[in-house]
């Protein structure tokens, strides 16, 4: 083949390859519309921490600086140091040293860095990225101790040319350099207890629990091959700096005390046989967490023991425990899946708002619990499902057999649904879904002017007119009626009975003041003429005035609420933006921005609490347009609580006996008239006032 003909082709390939690399470098990892690019710096102002790695279970706990290694080479008259690490934003970092041992001649790539005091410690300012700085210490005599940063990963110390393998660091993060302050290495002891939990999930997960009892000085301990080679690291929870080497070795910087380290790994492939060649001791105690909904297995070649008497961690004691040696463990599969899964365990919390015109309800359902059998929830045909979200994420509502519903993809359900019901305001379903609930409670919010007399089909009601009556209320009302019967006649007693029924539980209604007034009137009947009767007559006048003080505001409130029910007191709503509206405003082209949350993997961790960050990339694109729902009210006037004590079937109905604003207005005027007539009827006394 002619080489001259190949040269242009090769040149073209090289040019295209270079262009692709350049384009890939310039392509942003996050898509930003052209209209929003000028706002990028404004949005990201003072938010540099947003791009720092975060802990897997806590988005707010971010780590923007990592001091992976600190090397100290000290002698009796001077010393030098070097620090390596990485910064995810430009910031001040603290470096080793103190007032009588201040770092000088600090350089980064031959660039001198000024050292100032921050938080009573020396500090330097560095840009974002990896760094390697060097410096020196000048002192007349070797100090007893030198301060080191709290988030130091690995510390290397040379003292007068001799490597110190087990430096002593006190609780105030001071590195002791004098022999008198260092404990005797012969006192260094460590006791390790290992427990492991196998979770038969997809993939299989193993949690390793290392319980350390450490005495002596701070030092580094190395444990060889304590993790399975056929698995990968997922998570580390450790109060000590820890490093995983070659996916199986464990290096820990220990200090005196009791510590517990949890390491979670998962296996690459399905496990049918496990060779325990990574035991720290000759035998260990393992626990097994079965997932019967996935498969049922029988463990072979191992012996079961009592988890409560063998020291198994308390959170694992309800799982079976086994004594493990070097014999291979066989997972004999009995069957796949669970043919008889347990029933679903769901709890419904419902909020209902009655329309102002009384033509329907706005409903918000919150359903929580475990799903084992049914993987779809359908709403009944007479209820219009408008919006559904799982843990705050809106979901697409679909139709199945002409019923709107939602597909469920997780066993742990946390769902919120919004819907409308307009068939009848007096009779409505207790659930509305095609699935029974273990526990149901509802809050019925009534607009101004509406009242609930009572309801049927409910176990417990709080807030209705009928359920407000207690035994003491009946007793007081009957005393008032019987007193008026003995003072007047049967006609006035009937009027008093109706008045008590209509007014007893109204706001500001006179209750005990009736008894006070009736007692004075009764005394006027039996007290003979004289000075004492004059005192009773004065008491009668005061009782009438006192009663008027209570009854006049009651009458004014009844007339005002009857004619203008919208003046009732209510709780003002808290303004909140709908997730759908916020999402649409953030993405005018109906495309969500993709956020790449990348957390770097580091070998050294903070001494306060070590967490493992593995490189992950979370990208999700949802092109489906989800339903926004009817919108929910935010007001609260009259609220009635409904509760069912046991499981509720899908066919359960609730009958509500509602009082409309027109009827309530008529009753308000009637209450005022009856209280006024009753007061004038019992307030007349012949010797003192002309009788009607």
Local confidence band at 587 (pLDDT 50, 70, 90 cut-offs)? very low
pLDDT number for residue 185: 52
pLDDT number for residue 13: 52
Higher model confidence: residue 49 or residue 436? Answer: 436
pLDDT number for residue 265: 94
pLDDT number for residue 228: 92
Those residues whose C-beta lies under 8 Å from the C-beta of residue 314, and which sit 6 or more positions away, are none
Main-chain dihedrals φ then ψ at residue 560, nearest 5 degrees: -65, -45
Query: Of 347-356, 436-445, 539-548, where does mean pLDDT reach its minimum?
Result: 539-548
C-alpha triplet 420, 631, 462: angle, nearest 5°: 65
- In which order are the strands placed within the sheet that holds 427-429? 427-429, 653-659, 451-456
DSSP string, 434-474: SS-BSEEEEEEEE-TT-EEEEEES-SEEES-TGGG--HHHH
Q: How many CB atoms lie within 10 A of CB 11?
A: 10
Q: Is the pLDDT of residue 688 over 80?
A: no
> Do the beta carbons of residue 59 and residue 52 sit within 8 Å?
no
pLDDT number for residue 339: 67
Segment 89-124, tens digit of pLDDT? 888 899 998 877 889 899 998 889 999 988 888 999
Could you tell me the two tokens for 648? 């509720």
pLDDT number for residue 684: 62
pLDDT number for residue 211: 93
Q: Is the pLDDT of residue 26 over 50?
A: no
Higher model confidence: residue 96 or residue 566? Answer: 96
Local confidence band at 198 (pLDDT 50, 70, 90 cut-offs)? very high
pTM for this predicted structure: 0.49
Q: Is 304 helix (H, G, I), strand (E, B) or coil?
A: strand
pLDDT number for residue 208: 95
Local confidence band at 630 (pLDDT 50, 70, 90 cut-offs)? confident
Mean pLDDT of the chain: 80
CA distances from residue 113 to 86, 87, 668 in whole angstroms, order as listed: 17, 16, 82
pLDDT number for residue 4: 53
Q: Is the pLDDT of residue 605 over 70?
A: no
Helix pair angle (490-503, 661-682), 10° resolution: 140
Higher model confidence: residue 204 or residue 685? Answer: 204
How much of the chain, in percent, has pLDDT values that exceed 70?
A: 84
How far apart CA 293 and CA 643 sit, in angstroms, is 32
Segment 329-352, tens digit of pLDDT? 999 988 887 667 778 889 999 999
pLDDT number for residue 318: 92
How far apart CA 542 and CA 537 sit, in angstroms, is 9
pLDDT number for residue 614: 33
Mean pLDDT of 542-554: 81
How far apart CA 96 and CA 76 sit, in angstroms, is 17
pLDDT number for residue 238: 92
How far apart CA 452 and CA 462 sit, in angstroms, is 10
Give the residue from 217, 139, 125, 221 showing the smallest Cα distance to 176.
217
How far apart CA 218 and CA 183 sit, in angstroms, is 9
pLDDT number for residue 212: 92
Cross-strand bridge partners of residue 379: 433
How far apart CA 359 and CA 362 sit, in angstroms, is 10
Give the residue from 675, 321, 326 showing the smallest Cα distance to 513.
675
pLDDT number for residue 569: 65
Give the residue from 425, 345, 409 showing the smallest Cα distance to 376.
409
Segment 645-657, tens digit of pLDDT? 888 888 889 999 9
Give the residue from 159, 118, 643, 624 showing the smallest Cα distance to 393.
624
Domains and CATH numbers, the chain: 55-182 (2.60.40), 187-336 (2.60.40), 345-448 (2.60.40.1730), 471-567+668-682 (no CATH)
Q: Percentage helix, strand, coil, to 5, in the chain?
A: 25, 35, 40
Those residues whose C-beta lies under 8 Å from the C-beta of residue 295, and which sit 6 or more positions away, are 200, 333, 334, 335, 336, 337
Q: Is the pLDDT of residue 25 over 50?
A: no
C-alpha triplet 360, 366, 370: angle, nearest 5°: 140
How far apart CA 108 and CA 599 sit, in angstroms, is 26
Instruction: Say if strands 65-74 and 152-159 run parallel, antiparallel, or are unpaired.
Output: parallel
> Do the beta carbons of residue 341 and residue 296 sit within 8 Å?
no
CA distances from residue 331 to 201, 446, 504 in whole angstroms, order as listed: 13, 59, 72
Mean pLDDT of 603-618: 33
Cross-strand bridge partners of residue 389: 394, 416
Could you tell me the two tokens for 429? 């379903």
| Cis status of the peptide bond prior to 577, with omega within 30 of 0 | no
Higher model confidence: residue 415 or residue 681? Answer: 415
Local confidence band at 442 (pLDDT 50, 70, 90 cut-offs)? very high
Instruction: Say if strands 249-254 and 257-267 run parallel, antiparallel, or are unpaired.
Output: unpaired
pLDDT number for residue 10: 58
How much of the chain, in percent, has pLDDT values that exceed 90?
A: 21
Local confidence band at 15 (pLDDT 50, 70, 90 cut-offs)? low
Segment 383-429, tens digit of pLDDT? 899 899 988 888 888 888 888 888 888 778 889 999 999 888 889 99
Local confidence band at 570 (pLDDT 50, 70, 90 cut-offs)? low
Q: Is the pLDDT of residue 237 over 90?
A: yes
Local confidence band at 579 (pLDDT 50, 70, 90 cut-offs)? very low
Residue 565 half-sphere exposure toward CB, CA atoms < 13 A: 22
DSSP string, 322-340: EEE-SSPEEEEEEEES-SS
Local confidence band at 150 (pLDDT 50, 70, 90 cut-offs)? confident
DSSP string, 228-259: -TTEEEEEEEESS-EEEETTTEEEEEE-SEEE
Q: Is the pLDDT of residue 27 over 90?
A: no
pLDDT number for residue 172: 81
DSSP string, 52-121: S-EETTEEEEE--EEEEEEEEEE-SSEEEEEEEEEESS-EEEE-S-BTTB-EEEEEETTEE---EEETTE
Could you tell me the two tokens for 422? 């307009």
Q: Is the pLDDT of residue 184 over 70?
A: no
Instruction: Say if strands 152-159 and 145-147 run parallel, antiparallel, or are unpaired.
Output: unpaired
Query: Of 4-13, 172-181, 194-203, 568-577, where does mean pLDDT reach its minimum?
Result: 568-577
Segment 500-533, tens digit of pLDDT? 888 888 877 887 888 778 877 877 777 777 777 7
């Amino acid at each position: 083949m002619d080489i001259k003909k190949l040269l242009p082709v090769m040149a073209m390939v090289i040019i295209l390859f270079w262009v692709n690399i350049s384009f890939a470098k310039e392509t942003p990892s996050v898509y930003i519309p052209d209209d929003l690019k000028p706002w990028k710096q404004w949005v990201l102002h003072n938010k540099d921490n947003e791009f720092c790695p975060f802990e897997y279970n806590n988005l707010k706990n971010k780590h923007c600086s990592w001091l992976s290694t600190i090397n100290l080479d000290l002698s009796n008259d001077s010393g030098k140091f070097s620090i390596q690490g990485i910064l995810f934003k430009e910031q001040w970092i603290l470096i080793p040293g103190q007032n009588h041992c201040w770092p000088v001649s600090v350089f980064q790539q031959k660039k001198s860095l000024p050292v100032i005091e921050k938080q009573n410690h020396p500090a330097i300012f560095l840009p974002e990225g990896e760094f390697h700085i060097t410096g020196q210490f000048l002192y007349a005599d070797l100090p007893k101790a030198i301060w080191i940063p709290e988030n130091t990963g690995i510390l290397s110390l040379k003292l007068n040319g001799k490597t110190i393998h087990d430096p002593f660091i006190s609780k105030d993060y001071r590195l002791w350099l004098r022999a008198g302050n260092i404990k005797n290495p012969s006192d260094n002891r460590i006791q390790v207890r290992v427990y492991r939990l196998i979770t038969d999930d997809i993939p299989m997960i193993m949690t390793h629990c290392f319980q350390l009892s450490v005495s002596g000085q701070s030092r580094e301990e190395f444990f060889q091959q304590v993790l399975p080679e056929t698995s990968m690291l997922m998570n580390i929870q450790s109060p000590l700096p820890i490093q995983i080497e070659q996916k199986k070795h464990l290096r820990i910087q220990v200090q005196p005390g009791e510590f517990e380290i949890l390491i979670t790994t998962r296996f690459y492939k399905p496990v049918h046989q496990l060779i325990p060649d990574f035991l720290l001791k000759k035998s260990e105690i393992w626990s097994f967490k079965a997932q019967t909904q996935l498969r049922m297995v029988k463990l072979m070649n191992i012996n079961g023991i009592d988890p409560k008497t063998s020291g198994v961690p308390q959170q694992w004691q309800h799982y079976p425990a086994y004594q493990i040696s070097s014999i291979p463990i066989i997972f004999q599969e009995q069957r796949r899946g669970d043919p008889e899964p347990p029933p679903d365990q769901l709890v419904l919390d419902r909020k209902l708002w009655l329309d102002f015109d009384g033509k329907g309800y706005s409903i918000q359902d919150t359903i929580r619990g475990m799903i084992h059998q049914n993987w779809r929830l359908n709403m009944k045909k007479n209820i219009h499902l408008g919006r559904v979200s799982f843990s705050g994420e809106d979901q697409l509502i679909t139709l199945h057999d002409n019923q709107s519903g939602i597909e469920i993809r997780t066993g742990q359900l946390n769902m919120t649904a919004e819907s409308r019901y307009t068939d009848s305001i007096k009779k409505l379903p207790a659930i509305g879904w095609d699935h029974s609930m273990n526990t149901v409670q509802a809050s019925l919010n009534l607009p101004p002017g509406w009242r609930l007399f009572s309801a049927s089909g409910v176990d417990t009601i709080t807030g209705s007119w009928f359920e407000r009556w207690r035994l003491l209320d009946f007793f007081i009302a009957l005393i008032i009626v019987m007193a008026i019967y003995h003072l007047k006649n049967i006609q006035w007693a009937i009027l008093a009975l109706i008045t008590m029924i209509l007014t007893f539980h109204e706001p500001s209604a006179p209750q005990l003041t009736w008894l006070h007034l009736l007692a004075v009137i009764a005394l006027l009947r039996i007290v003979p003429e004289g000075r004492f009767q004059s005192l009773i007559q004065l008491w009668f006048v005061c009782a009438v005035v006192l009663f008027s003080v209570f009854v006049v505001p009651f009458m004014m409130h009844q007339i005002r609420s009857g004619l203008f029910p919208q003046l009732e007191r209510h709780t003002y709503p808290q303004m909140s933006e709908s997730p759908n509206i916020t999402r649409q405003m953030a993405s005018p082209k109906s495309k969500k921005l993709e956020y790449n949350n990348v957390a770097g993997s580091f070998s050294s961790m903070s001494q306060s609490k070590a967490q493992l960050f593995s490189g992950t990339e979370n990208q999700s694109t949802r092109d489906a347009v989800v339903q926004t729902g009817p919108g929910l009210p935010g007001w609260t006037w009259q609220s009635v609580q409904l509760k069912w004590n046991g499981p509720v079937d899908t066919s359960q109905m609730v009958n509500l006996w509602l009082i409309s604003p027109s009827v309530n207005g008529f009753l308000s005027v009637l209450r005022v008239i009856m209280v006024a007539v009753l007061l004038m009827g019992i307030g007349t006394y012949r010797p003192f006032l002309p009788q009607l």
